[in-house]
Structure 1
């Protein structure tokens, strides 16, 4: 049994490493970093759910990354013409974000590419296996969340 457990551990480790090496997110080739694409998509989704606008902390919470990390990406996206800032009309001290037309176009391209990737995966695996995969990946995600405090 111990030998079988070691084999499973090795296979799991190798499989996770393959995902890291595959760079499937980098294959989008949209001209910006994959992390910036995630920020654009997050901003697009959050903006569609809000009447007021989107703050850096909204994006930070949604992506589960620190505000300083998001701030650096937003600065680059603003400089590149994909995002613009504006002040909350109720409280001028609050800076909010929105996509420019250029940012909206890029976010839409990214969404279409993600849809193609995942529809191809559904075709390859079938709906039943995809549902199983979703359940398993959520369990893996929750496991990593549970063990995270042990690493600190």
Structure 2
């Protein structure tokens, strides 16, 4: 692949993410006035996806230092969204997991996001929807291939 094409790909990635956040997610899905910040939401999303995990594993997945996790987790614990408990095999390891309240909160958030995205995308002409569907399927395929190399 030539360098110009790679530069265009990188540029598009960098510019698409803020647009996606601004145009579809943040303003329209109720995240702007949410109780939890982006990092706290990501912690809960990781736990929903993977289940009980050591704090250090969640920190590694989110590229957050383990000491910085403490502040993030304290609010989530105080709000009853996650619980912290020692590992059964190694008491030096502290695990975290979503509570029922955390699961309920995330289910409601994800449902809100789905409904909002449907509402925002439904006015698009069918041809644009088709192009978007194909583009997103291609993007998922490429990102899956990239992530499998790690």
TM-score (norm 1): 0.61
**Which position in structure 2 is the counterpart of 1:28?**
30
The separation in 1 between residues aligned to 2:45 and 2:18, in whole angstroms, is: 26
Residues 66, 128 of structure 1: alpha-carbon distance in 2 compared, 3 angstrom cutoff: farther
The separation in 2 between residues aligned to 1:119 and 1:46, in whole angstroms, is: 27
Residue deviations 1:84-142 (CA, integer Å, cap 9, x gap): 11111111221101112221211111221232244446644424423314646998xxx
Residues 121, 63 of structure 1: alpha-carbon distance in 2 compared, 3 angstrom cutoff: farther
Residue deviations 1:20-45 (CA, integer Å, cap 9, x gap): 65583364244322332222111111
Alignment of 1:3-152 (within 5 A): 22=23, 24-25=25-26, 27-29=29-31, 30-47=34-51, 53-120=52-119, 123=122, 124=124, 125-133=128-136, 135=138
Q: Which has the higher contact order (CA 8 A, sep 6+)?
A: 2
The separation in 2 between residues aligned to 1:89 and 1:14, in whole angstroms, is: 45
Whether contact under 8 Å (1:41, 1:107) holds in the other structure is yes
Residue deviations 1:16-73 (CA, integer Å, cap 9, x gap): 76556558336424432233222211111110xxxxx212222223333333343321
Q: Which moved more, 1:65-74 or 1:103-112?
A: 65-74
Whether contact under 8 Å (1:84, 1:99) holds in the other structure is yes
Report the aligned-residue RMSD: 3.8
